[in-house]
Amino acid sequence: MSIYILGTGAIGCHIASVLRNNKIPVSLLLRSQHHLNDFNSRQNSITYRSQGHINKIPGFEASVVGDTTDQTPIQSLIVATKGHHTLKALAPMASRLSAKSTILLLQNGMGVAEELMENLWPNSTPPAIFIGVNRHAVERMGPYDITHHSGYADPDALRIGRFPDAAADVQQSELVSRLIAIPELNAAQLSWKQVLVKMYKKLVVNACINAVASVLMYKNIGNIKNGNPSGIALMRSICQEAHDVFRDDLPGETVDSLMDMVLAINQEAGENVCSTLQDIRSKNLTEIDYLNGYICKKGQERGIDVRYNQAMVYIIHAKEALYE
């Protein structure tokens, strides 16, 4: 049975490519008939670049999200849209999902699953929702054309947890099982409590690296290139506030330990252009409200000063306001 993928940016195309390389049927859900025609003109293929190799991967099925004539039930759905697009993108598919379906959310930031539950299934049994913490660094070079920079050698690259019911942690869906069985994804399922800690850590990493790289308008390595003192100081200020906000959610972590993690990942994924900067360069709205904006939201709820994170949100939105 096909695995459906909603969102064909860097991460969606990466997961789709790996699945097809492992002979798993994949059906892409595209935004419009124009996008479908464009994909058909490319012989329904994705160009996947990694470790000096370029592979053109064919054999994908594809359809338009808003095609009301297609009511085929969807059992397995991976959602790789940007956080701020997820609710609007998924809403047309809701009728094709049931309590027997499985959804895996693969986005930066936090708060998306809660948004879906509140708006799509407020009074009914939702599909099984899993959330992935993804450390594969992938850059979109063009439509259906990606470069996989890092993650293939990271044993902790993809961790998946069942949201939000701790009692369901032991359950594993067919979708999750198939992903875990693919060695190059380095995937594993953890308890929701364990995954939540990893989500907070990933949030800190993205809030630091993405925000600063997007201000510099440079690939990730610019944040630390030649020991960039101001770039590192700015990331540390963002990290300090995040630690103040999530101190109780990150037991055993200090500002220093979180910064060590940020700097290590910044170095490892240095050649990648972060997703926020990719959006700015493409003149798309970013997911900053689910990154630094989420830290601001929780900080304000808890009475904690988050001025550096708020400044990052203002700067990125100011850049968006200048799009023509």
What pLDDT score was predicted for residue 160? 95
pLDDT tens for the chain, 324 residues long, are: 799 999 999 999 999 999 999 999 999 999 999 999 999 999 999 999 999 999 999 999 999 997 778 888 999 999 999 888 999 999 998 999 999 999 999 988 898 999 999 999 999 999 999 999 999 999 999 999 999 999 988 999 999 999 986 555 556 689 999 999 999 999 999 999 999 999 999 999 999 999 999 999 999 999 999 999 999 999 999 999 999 999 999 999 999 999 999 999 999 999 999 999 999 999 999 999 999 999 999 999 999 999 999 999 999 999 999 998
Please answer whether residues 146 and 47 qualify as being in contact, where contact means their C-beta atoms are separated by less than 8 angstroms.
yes
What is the reported pTM? 0.86
What pLDDT score was predicted for residue 291? 97
- State the fold for domain 197-321: N-(1-d-carboxylethyl)-l-norvaline Dehydrogenase; domain 2 (1.10.1040)
Burial of residue 29 (number of CB atoms within 10 Å: 0-12, 13-18, 19+): buried
Helix axes 292-301, 229-246, angle to 10 degrees: 40
- Return d(Cα 153, Cα 141) in angstroms, integer: 22
Please answer whether residues 2 and 27 qualify as being in contact, where contact means their C-beta atoms are separated by less than 8 angstroms.
yes
What pLDDT score was predicted for residue 70? 80
Superfamily of structural domain 3-190:
NAD(P)-binding Rossmann-like Domain (3.40.50.720)
- Return d(Cα 19, Cα 13) in angstroms, integer: 10
What pLDDT score was predicted for residue 66? 79
Ordered by start, the domain boundaries in the chain are: 3-190, 197-321
Cα-only R_g, the chain: 19
What pLDDT score was predicted for residue 68? 77
What pLDDT score was predicted for residue 167? 54
Q: Same fold for the domain at 3-190 and the one at 197-321?
A: no
Per DSSP, helices labelled H in 138-191 are 174-180
Torsion over CA: 47, 91, 82, 15 (sign): negative
Contacts of 277 (CB under 8 A, 6+ apart): 210, 213, 214, 217, 218, 219
What pLDDT score was predicted for residue 166? 53
Q: What torsion, rounded to 10 degrees, do the Cα atoms 266, 272, 273, 278 define?
A: -130
Q: What torsion, rounded to 10 degrees, do the Cα atoms 292, 290, 144, 264 define?
A: 40
Model confidence pLDDT, tens digit, residues 206-248: 999 999 999 999 999 999 999 999 999 999 999 999 999 999 9
- Return d(Cα 303, Cα 297) in angstroms, integer: 10
Model confidence pLDDT, tens digit, residues 175-190: 999 999 999 999 999 9
What pLDDT score was predicted for residue 103? 96
What pLDDT score was predicted for residue 61? 96
Q: Tell me the pairing of strands 3-6 and 26-30.
A: parallel
Closest residue by Cα to residue 30 from 56, 1, 9:
9
